[in-house]
Amino acid sequence: MNQTARLILQRGRPGEAPRAEAHDVPFEPGQSVLDGLRWIRAHRDPALAFRFSCINANACKECMMHLDGKVIYACTERLREGDMTLAPLPNKALIRDLVTEIAPPDERLE
């Protein structure tokens, strides 16, 4: 039986005021926040920016973001019914939407 999570996403680019955007996402128990974000990208907004690599293995650490003010890995955090507010990491430089800089400063291309 499908349930519905409302993912409230902080969207934007550097230098712009962030905006909130809500999406109702159908899910089955056990599905991850990453699954929900991928559903939004596939069915609602192909321009949604978020980072991932390993898909549900918590091996790459690329999908870190804030969920309701707490740092989580989107690939292992489970969807739940009701509102779930997602935002980029606050202590990292914003690239776009939920994507933040991950390379250490001395490893970035100039």
**Model confidence pLDDT, tens digit, residues 50-67:** 999 876 666 678 899 999
Predicted pLDDT at 58: 66
Summary mean pLDDT of the chain: 91
The reply to whether the predicted model has a pTM over 0.85 is: yes
Distance of CA 5 to the CA centre of its chain: 14
pLDDT reported for residue 55: 67
- Identify whether the C-beta of residue 103 lies closer than 8 Å to the C-beta of residue 15: no
What the chain holds in terms of domains, given with CATH numbers, is 3-101 (3.10.20.30)
pLDDT of residue 1: 59
Please compute the mean of the pLDDT values over residues 25-44 and round it to a whole number: 96
